[in-house]
Amino acid sequence: MKQNKTAAALVIQHAPASLVRFQRRAGFPLLCVAAAVLPILAAHPSSAKPRQVEHWVGTWAAAPQRTSKGQMEEYRNQTLRLVVHTSAGGRTIRVRLSNVFGELPLFIGRAHVARRTSGSKIDAAFDRALTFDKQPSVTIPAGSLAISDPVELDVPALSDLAISLFFPEPAQAGTVHILARQTNYVSTATGDATAAADFPVLKTINSWPFVTGVDVLASSRGAAIVAFGSSLTDGDGSTRDTNRRWPDVLAERLQRSGATGIGILNEGIIGNRLLSDSASPRQSAGPPPLGPVFDTLGPALGEAGVKRFERDVISQPGVKYVILALGVNDMLFPGTFVPAAEAVTARELIAGNRQLVAAAHSHGIRAIGTTIPPFEHALFRDPPFNRFYSVEKEKIRQEVNAWIRSTHEFDGVIDFDAAVRDPGHPTQILPAYDSGDHLHVNNDGNVAQGNAVPLALFRTR
């Protein structure tokens, strides 16, 4: 039975928090709707049969970030080939591209999506051209994002896709996800290579410029889980090209359990905080040696969790669950990256979590809390610094974790602290799980965290 697909791509303009404005290109009228999934209804020959409802569910995502000062990349007459790893599978997909932090319009001359085989290579039999409002190119205004037209492509769960974008004109990568932990590819300046099975590689990058999501058409039982956190969620400490972030491990467990319609969307950002960001009041750089680092990196560490929650959680296609995993950097930054006077209290972190829980519940999203893992001996490598930990900060972590474990405000709790702490020294990570900086876990630690998630939390209806 053939499904009735939506006909056109959308360019989503920047809008107030309570509303997302969808604008069709080529003179179509504006359609204003609350940020949500657009349902696609199956066409049935007989009105006596119940209607089958399909909707979009995210299978992969990355949170958009600004670039660090002086790190803006520019592409001209080049193609990017960006590799992403799916969670849920599907036979109809669409791709989301972002220029939300760009200062200029972004022109994409051609775009393709294909199954990745290895390295930069693709399977030409499973390569599809992407269109935008039935056009092969798209201009994304500054502060906006674009969603491709639906395309039929059999995408297995837990597989690699290659998204190829051609830039015939100079394109500044003002919107990027910095910590991909995935090798991606930049072509030589030799024109459109979006369909090239053997990609002409000029260099590799460890980031995802512009691409922020891939969605699949799913049954009514399909749903997405958003992992909303910091570098501990983003995968810092895991090995590149292995997909060993804890959300990846959770995705594998869900597929093995038979929950094949559930997608996992990783919206972690390195250095992200729950309550503050570089644009918040009194966020000047802290003392040396890390103050100058914050001055350079600050804008790239993402907007505060309480600010970006609507864009990175509520607006995700098919979201039914959010795993909240922010707060560690709110404790670590004062006195290191930012002035000590900006220290937070346990009460403030609890209030921030309550704000996110309330926002999730107001949109029918189940909110799952996570305890904060230990960070004694945590260090920064360049420049060398190892004075993040203090008895006062540990007291705050314990108070917040005690509240997370005991409150009934969450719809469930995941004890990441218990999963990775050293039983003989519970203020530090178990050495076998330590990536080396005493803050981020390695592949085995991510597996332990992914295995600590009770699958019963994700009931499909």
User: What are the residue boundaries of the structural domains of the chain, listed by start?
Assistant: 58-213, 222-457
Structure tokens at 226: 């958003």
Quick one: pLDDT at residue 281? 87
- Per the listing, tokens 């591209």 go with 97
Tell me, what DSSP letter sits at residue 347?
Answer: H
Q: Which CATH superfamily is domain 222-457 in?
A: SGNH hydrolase (3.40.50.1110)
> Residue 436 burial by CB count (10 A; 0-12/13-18/19+): exposed, middle or buried?
exposed
* DSSP-assigned beta bridge partners for residue 364: none
Strand ranges in 16-109 using DSSP code E only, listed in sequence order: 20-23, 30-33, 40-41, 53-61, 74-75, 78-85, 90-99, 106-108
What pTM, to 2 d.p., does this model score? Answer: 0.91
Residue of 392, 401, 284, 288 lying closest to 342 (CA atoms): 284
> Residue 36 burial by CB count (10 A; 0-12/13-18/19+): exposed, middle or buried?
middle
Q: How far is CA 126 from CA 113, 152, 153, 195, in A?
A: 8, 10, 7, 11
Quick one: pLDDT at residue 52? 59
Residues shown for the chain:
461
∠ CA 105-64-137 to the nearest 5 degrees? 35
Structure tokens at 284: 């000047």
Phi, psi of 358 (to 5 degrees): -65, -40
Quick one: pLDDT at residue 459? 78
**Contact predicate 137/165, CB 8 Å:** no
- Per the listing, tokens 């001209």 go with 76
Q: Which residues of the chain have pLDDT under 50?
A: 1-8, 14-50
3-state secondary structure of 348: helix
Task: State the pairing for strand pair 160-167/171-172.
Answer: unpaired
Task: State the pairing for strand pair 121-129/110-118.
Answer: antiparallel
| Rg of the chain on CA atoms, in Å | 22
Interatomic CA distance for residues 85 and 425, integer angstroms? 36
Interatomic CA distance for residues 110 and 9, integer angstroms? 14
Interatomic CA distance for residues 8 and 22, integer angstroms? 11
